[in-house]
Each structure stands twice: as structure tokens, then as C-alpha cells.
């Protein structure tokens, strides 16, 4: 258990650092976070309309619209511009808010890596390749389940950044765990030789 906890904390730190590089320092996700000089006009308009906090898809239809009305809107909007808006009434950019978000993000990473360590622990004497391959599989599963599935419908602009994130951070975590979780354990070949020696004795 102690080895899994240490492995999870260090693994979470690896993922956390990569996330910081990807979303902030290097900003691979820039295509989805672009600046526009029209931001003041856009925000002013949204604020003036009294838009409630939430996510919006446009053009959309009211919840009370019939199926035929919805089909008409979809047909009329085919080939025309569309948009998604995530609107928030209040920005939280204070140091306390930022610190809490970072702590929560790191703790989530600890839980994720610990769950992976738990799965690895269910495998009898896993090799380095098995742990690394399993970590990459987890990264790819996570990528396909959310970012890519969302991309299929909403064409997000940073899809390749998410793919690179999945491979890089889980690859690095897999390398770490492949070494750490096997550290000090007898390998399968050694165990077999020892068992054979006992039988011969």
C-alpha cells in the first residue's frame, strides 16, 4: 500500500506538471483559447442581454419546440455558422481561487493514478512493458471517451493537444510506475528458478 501511495503521489505530480505545461506555459491548447480584439464588444452584448450562467448551443431550439420545428431549424442552419458558449457570471481569478483549483486538480490526479496502481496490483508480477502499456491504454481510453467523443460532435480546436497530452503524461507516468512498482520485487524468471531449485532439492 505504501508503495502504491508514493507511486500515486509522484505520478500525480508528473501529470500535474504536464497539465501546467500543456495548458499554460507552452499552451498546446491555444487554438481553443484564442484572443479576439472583439472580446469587449462580445462580452458587453452578452452581459446586456442578461444571459443566465450556463452552456449554450446556437442555433438551438426551445425545449418546448416540436420535433418538426427542431428539424426545420436544423435544416435552415445546415452549412451556416454555429457556436457554443460557456457563460459565467463571475470570474474567479484570485490567488485563493487559483490555489484551490490547483489543489483539487492535484488530488484528482492522485486518485486517478492510485486507481491505476490498484489495477496493476491485481496483475501477477507485471513487467515494465505491461505497466507502461497499461498506462498508455488508460490515457488513450480517457482521450477517446471524452475529448474525442466531444470532438466528433462539436469540433473542438485543441483535439490534437488532448491526444498529445494523453500519450505524453500517461507515458511518463507509466515509465515512472513501471520502475517504481517493480522496484525490489523478484522478477518472474527468478521466482520460477527458485521454485525449481526447491523441487530439485
Rg (CA), the chain: 24
Instruction: Give the 3-state DSSP-derived string for the chain, with helices as H, strands as E and coil as C.
Output: CHHHHHHHHHHHHHHHHHHHHHHHHCCCCHHHCCCCCCHHHHHHHHHHCCCCCEEEEECCCCCCCCHHHHHHHHHHHCCCCCEEEEECCCCCCCHHHHHHHHHHHHHHHHHHHHHHHHHHHCCCCCCHHHHHHHHHHHHHHHHHHHHHHHHHHHCCCCHHHHHHHHHHHHHHHHHHHHHHCCCCCCCHHHHHHHHHHHHHC
The pLDDT, as a whole number, for residue 183 is 87
Surface-to-core class of residue 143, CB atoms within 10 Å of its CB (0-12 exposed, 13-18 middle, 19+ buried): buried
Residue 147 contacts residue 161 (beta carbons within 8 Å):
no
For residue 5, the tally of other CB atoms under 10 A from its CB is 12
Name residue, grid cell 500525480.
Answer: 12
* Phi, then psi, of 197 in degrees rounded to 5: -60, -40
| Angstrom distance (rounded) from CA 57 to CA 74 | 12
The pLDDT, as a whole number, for residue 186 is 63
Strand partners, 87: 54
Does the N-terminal peptide bond of residue 59 adopt cis geometry, omega within 30 degrees of 0?
A: yes
Residue 185 contacts residue 126 (beta carbons within 8 Å):
no
**Which residues of the chain are under the pLDDT cut of 50?**
188-201
The pLDDT, as a whole number, for residue 193 is 38
Amino acid at each position: 500500500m505504501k508503495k502504491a501511495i508514493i507511486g500515486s503521489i509522484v505520478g500525480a505530480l508528473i501529470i500535474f506538471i504536464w497539465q501546467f505545461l500543456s495548458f499554460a506555459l507552452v499552451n498546446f491548447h491555444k487554438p481553443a483559447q484564442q484572443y479576439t480584439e472583439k472580446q469587449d464588444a462580445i462580452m458587453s452584448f452578452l452581459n446586456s442581454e442578461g444571459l443566465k450562467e450556463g452552456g449554450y448551443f446556437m442555433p438551438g431550439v426551445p425545449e418546448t419546440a416540436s420535433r418538426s420545428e427542431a428539424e426545420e431549424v436544423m435544416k435552415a442552419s445546415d452549412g451556416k455558422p454555429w457556436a457554443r458558449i460557456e457563460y459565467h457570471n463571475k470570474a474567479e481569478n484570485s490567488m485563493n481561487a487559483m490555489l484551490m483549483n490547483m489543489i483539487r486538480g492535484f488530488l484528482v490526479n492522485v486518485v486517478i493514478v492510485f486507481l491505476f496502481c490498484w489495477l496493476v496490483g491485481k496483475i501477477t508480477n507485471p513487467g515494465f512493458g505491461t505497466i507502461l502499456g497499461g498506462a498508455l491504454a488508460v490515457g488513450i481510453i480517457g482521450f477517446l471517451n471524452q475529448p474525442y467523443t466531444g470532438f466528433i460532435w462539436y469540433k473542438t480546436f485543441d483535439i490534437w493537444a488532448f491526444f498529445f497530452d494523453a500519450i505524453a503524461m500517461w507515458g511518463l507516468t507509466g515509465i515512472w510506475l513501471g520502475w517504481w512498482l517493480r522496484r525490489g520485487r523478484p522478477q518472474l524468471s527468478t521466482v520460477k528458478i527458485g521454485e525449481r531449485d526447491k523441487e530439485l532439492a
